[in-house]
Structure 1
Amino acid sequence: MIDQTFEQFSDELWITAVQVATVWTNPQSTREIDLPGIGNPTNIDEWIGRQHVTSLSALCDENRVQSQLLYGEPVIVTEVADGWAHVIIPTQPSHKDERGYPGWVPIKQLKKVAKSEWKRSKAAVVTDKFAWLETDDGERFLKTSYQTHLPVKKEHADRVEVITPHGQLFLKKNAVTLFPTTAGLNKQDGSAIIQSGEQFLGLDYFWGGMSAFGYDCSGFSYAMHKANGYQIPRDAGDQAMNGKEIQDDQLLPGDLIFFAYQEGKGALHHVGIYYGNGKMLHSPKTGKQIEIIDLEGTVYEKERCLGRRYWQGAEET
């Protein structure tokens, strides 16, 4: 269950106020090429379109990016300095901080709101790859990513009125799923996790990516579980330390499989989703796209080290 309650917050919330806010290692991590991704509004399509393999690789190799936030995602702000906010992300569990994933975002990409205004009995989650927030008269306002969650104010015939950092706006009903805020999304089985992931085949890998604009390997597994009612850790190392351990001969579609250097005995470096029949669905690395591959005969076959299951079968729910 993705729990959308806000008990860990004070009477005021800091909410992500751009389509995607990248969470940086520190305020010095950004470069000129990153300007479309650190403003308000952001233009994530332009930002990614500007990149080349070298600049994309540097996001990881130079430890620049940690994670990302989606529009409307709440954070805890622990420090503000020189236009930047140090944040904790409660919706992204991590060993780095027991409260959630830490990092830095430009303060202009956040907005403070009253918890009483944001907390509603029902929420809408974007289930299309992208959905446009619209004004009352139907004008497109903001392109939001898959799995963007927003509080529902009112249901209309073909649209849902949602509360946003920019006031009341609308999402088309056929692009979202509505769910009770306190109960969260219904838990689905492993085959549903696979089905969610298949729609992103061909999408370019993006280090730190947590949106339909681009996922990294653990961001992809995190988001596909989130879409099916499970909150799992954000990073592959933490994902490998939790869940239920599954032996190779017991793997089922939707399970996570992990890979480590030195033929599975060294440092863990990758996670994918088991597809069934010896195949894996995964977001590989910079310069590659989300794909389904046969593990046999690949480097992944030699480096496979662990399987974990987070989803539940019908007999467990």
Structure 2
Amino acid sequence: MPQTKSTAWVCSVPVATVWTAPEKVRSVDAENIAENPNINKWLQEMSREENSDLTNSNRIQTQLLYGEPVMIDRVVEGWAKIAALWQPCQKDERGYPGWVPMSQLKKVEALTELGYARVTANKAQLWTAEFKPLKTVSFNTLLPVKELGEFVRLQTPDGDAMIEADTVEIVAAYDRVPLGSGLDIARLGSEFLDLPYLWAGMSSYGFDCSGFTYNLMKANGVIISRDAVDQALEGFEIDQHTQDSWHIGDLLFFAYEEGKGRLHHVGVYYGNGLMLHSPTPGKAVEIIELAGTKHEAELCAVRRFTETENRD
């Protein structure tokens, strides 16, 4: 009997936002939920208050990158209730849950024989087979490989596409990226300095605090949960009171009420008492000195995800 080709639902736009519920969308979000969303325009048109409202009103949950697989539970009036299969969390054992416009999803043939191309550049250009511009995709986008060369041929929701080989890393699977060192994690994070914070952000258009740490770890071969509250329970526990025992690349977690209350933030230890993080709406990825800040008092956990601080 002929084999039946398996299929998967994937994100069909460079970045799709996963909403808490369809009714959480505002008029200012029209560019975000369009069939061909313009994330830059959406971010530029939002006022600072509207940007902060994404957080305060719990409007969005996370984001999907081009080609990222989802499981669809149901479709209601053009919206899909999904689980993001590559984003672990305690809310749903299958992956991060939420709502996405159906127009931003597409069913494709599941193809994994030659592995994936992971975008290592901040952003990279995809080309059609005729070398016409197709889409600009974010850092950490993973797409199935069809053919290697100076330009790598990829399977995408828009059909075959080409990408320059020096903008990607070829990996066996989304969770089989070569393991980096703590220094690799910190150095990669520093490439995003001054990138504006975005609540639920998971792309090089903007990260939230845990989206930033999730993506830095993923790019260095470690899959951790999407949210800081889950990340704080993973990896290896390090004594938070002994800074000399911290390694560059360890994750630092912070909670209200001087570390005793609700966990609300995560950053990357940068060495010498410094932290690299994506802070809050209105700010951008930065490196700060911990001493004398509210973070020093709010530190509640230090976790290690790669045993090697420096690459040999």
Is the structural similarity TM-score above 0.5? Answer: yes
Equivalence for 1:7: none
1:216 maps to which of 208, 213, 216? 208
Equivalence for 1:243: 235
Equivalence for 2:139: 146
Equivalence for 1:120: 113
Contact 1:121 1:181 in 2 (8 A): no
Equivalence for 2:94: 99
Once the 2 structures are TM-superposed, how far is the Cα of residue 255 of structure 1 from its aligned partner?
0.5
1:262 maps to which of 238, 257, 260? 257
Q: SS where residue 13 of structure 1 aligns?
A: strand
**Structure-to-structure mapping, 1:177-196, within 5 angstroms:** 177-181=169-173, 184-196=176-188
**Structure-to-structure mapping, 1:229-240, within 5 angstroms:** 229-240=221-232
Matched residue count: 303
| C-alpha separation in 2, matches of 1:182 and 1:270 | 26
Once the 2 structures are TM-superposed, how far is the Cα of residue 40 of structure 1 from its aligned partner?
1.8
2:197 maps to which of 190, 196, 205? 205
Q: Give 1:306's aligned amino acid.
A: A
1:44 maps to which of 17, 39, 45? 39
Please identify, of 306-315 and 70-79, the stretch whose mean Cα deviation from structure 2 is larger.
306-315
| C-alpha separation in 1, matches of 2:175 and 2:299 | 36
| C-alpha separation in 2, matches of 1:81 and 1:187 | 41
Contact 2:80 2:102 in 1 (8 A): yes
| C-alpha separation in 1, matches of 2:113 and 2:102 | 25
Contact 2:183 2:309 in 1 (8 A): no
Equivalence for 2:105: 110
Tell me the alpha carbon deviations over residues 47-99 of structure 1, each in whole angstroms, 9 at most, x when there is no partner.
11111111111111001000000000000001111000010112111000111
Q: SS where residue 296 of structure 2 aligns?
A: helix
| C-alpha separation in 2, matches of 1:199 and 1:269 | 24
Equivalence for 2:129: 136
Contact 1:127 1:146 in 2 (8 A): yes
Q: Percent identity?
A: 46
Q: SS where residue 161 of structure 1 aligns?
A: strand
Give structure 1 regions of 4+ aligned residues with deviation exceeding 6 angstroms.
none
Contact 1:87 1:103 in 2 (8 A): yes
**Structure-to-structure mapping, 1:49-68, within 5 angstroms:** 49-68=44-63
| C-alpha separation in 2, matches of 1:237 and 1:280 | 18
Q: Give 1:119's aligned amino acid.
A: T
| C-alpha separation in 2, matches of 1:182 and 1:85 | 23
Once the 2 structures are TM-superposed, how far is the Cα of residue 136 of structure 1 from its aligned partner?
2.4
Equivalence for 2:19: 24
Contact 1:208 1:215 in 2 (8 A): yes
Q: SS where residue 42 of structure 2 aligns?
A: helix
1:271 partnered with 2:263: no
For structure 2, list consecutive stretches of 5 or more residues without a partner in the other structure: none
| C-alpha separation in 2, matches of 1:222 and 1:52 | 27
Q: SS where residue 21 of structure 2 aligns?
A: coil
